[in-house]
Structure 1
């Protein structure tokens, strides 16, 4: 059972890191678009390659 608890804690840590990353990433995108707008450019969107649903979890 302790292994399951450790796994849950690791997943929660990763989840929190991803939430923080997404928040910072959205802020960066907003600032970038505002800067581009000031220069008269059109908005653009960042694209992250890869699909989180394709990640494999292997039990050791």
Structure 2
């Protein structure tokens, strides 16, 4: 860490905090919905996600 200039008491200047935006929440909700749908399909079909036979 010392080689990268992270000394004691010094502040990192390259780090920028970015708050969540609307599209971040949309992607998060879409991912959760896909997870819930896959769990419902899995347990509704008898613990088989895809079985063509």
TM-score, normalised on structure 1? 0.43
Larger Rg: 2
Which has the bigger relative contact order, CA under 8 A and spacing at least 6? 1
Instruction: Say which structure is richer in helix.
Output: 1
TM-score, normalised on structure 2? 0.48
